[in-house]
Amino acid sequence: MKVTEQERAELKPEVDKLVEKSKEVIRDTFSKYKIEDMAITWTGGKDSTLTLWIIRQVCLEDKIQIPKAMTIDEFDVFQEIHDFMEKYTKEWNLDLEWCRNDDVVKAAGGKLNNIVKVKDLDERNQAELKRIGFEEDSFPFEAESYTGNHLMKTVEFNKYIERRNVKAIFQGLRRDEQSARIQDDYYEKKEAAHLIPEHMRIKPILHFSERQVWKAYKVYGIPYCALYEQGYRSLGAKTTSAIAEPGVPAWEQDLEHTTERAGRRQDKEQMMGRLRKLGYM
């Protein structure tokens, strides 16, 4: 990422203000929870890395230990993301746990697109499928399909919260990422429900736009995964993320007039899932 000193100086006041707001949210959370009851979600993507970086800054400034971090291995991970995360786990001295739904991977014979038979899954995974109203006997193993997304991500997330007794977890969600999030609050309490432990979700960079995220990277020289240089704008599973503009780094693309999540398939699956349950399919 090329940034001139002049550009950095120009951007700094705006970005400082944004980061200050994030730090406020983080410090407020720190004052309410014990370090061991908190966790940070990290995907290696631009939003969660920025979140993690700001939390780390707060910890350095206030001389406290950084909370543990978790990441979900959906079995369809870019090598570049994996390497990037390994590198900074060491460099930043993080306690990072990789969570993977191995039972599903095993039932799929360790290969993407293989058919997973529901009866081959363990009790928890079967119960989870029931919970989301999935009633078929099998499904193809894809991380970002309707069932795959639930088992590989949502379930692993909830299991982690439960296993590590997490009361508060930081997430790198942004309000402008989807119009659906326009109303989101920095704090979102998740009530306990069947297979979901109660916890608080905290979103310190909620107020950043996609453009402002990249401005923060420029101003502070925050490290990022190299895939963004190749033209990816939004990173999910390897087989379902697409390059938005080949060869054009994310921060040089027309972020304001095009869609950030182009190429991500989850939205369609989510919609189809709901329609099925409404009795339409």
Partner 1 sequence: MKNVILLTLDAIRKDVLGVYGSTKGLSPFIDSLGDESLIFTKGQTTGPYTQASFPGILTSSYYLDYGKPRGLAPERTLISEPLQKAGIVTAGFHSNPYCSDYLGWNRGWDVFYDSMEDEVEPRIPYIRGDIINTKVSNWLELQVKGGNRAFFLWLHYMDVHEPYMPERKYVDMVDPSLTLSEDEMYDLFENTLLKRDVSDPAKVELLKRLYEIHVREIDTYTKEFFGFLEKLGILKDCVVIITNDHGDEFNEHGGISHDYKMYSELIEPPLLIYGTEQSGEVDKLVSSVDIAPTIIHLFGLEPVPAFKGHSLLPLEDYPEKGAFSEAFDQRSQRGGDIEKDIYCYREKDLKIIYHANLDKWEMYDLKEDQKEQNNIVDTSSAAEELKKRLQPMVRRWVK
CB 159 to partner 1: min, Å = 16
CB 274 to partner 1: min, Å = 4
Instruction: Give the residue from 34, 70, 39 showing the smallest Cα distance to 55.
Output: 39
- Contact between 155 and 121 under an 8 Å Cβ cutoff? The reply is no
Which stretches of the chain bind partner 1, using CB under 8 A?
Answer: 130-133, 178-183, 267-268, 270-271, 273-275, 277-281
| Residue closer to partner 1 (CB basis): 96 or 132 | 132
Distance CA 217, CA 108 (A): 39
Q: Is 94 helix (H, G, I), strand (E, B) or coil?
A: coil
CB 186 to partner 1: min, Å = 13
Give Cα 234 distance to the centre of its chain: 11
What DSSP designation does 118 have?
G
| Residue closer to partner 1 (CB basis): 123 or 191 | 191
| Residue closer to partner 1 (CB basis): 182 or 192 | 182
What is the chain's percent helix, strand, coil content, to nearest 5? 50, 10, 40
CB 130 to partner 1: min, Å = 8
Give 201's Cβ-side CA count (13 Å radius).
18
| Residue closer to partner 1 (CB basis): 87 or 130 | 130
| Residue closer to partner 1 (CB basis): 112 or 132 | 132
CB 79 to partner 1: min, Å = 28
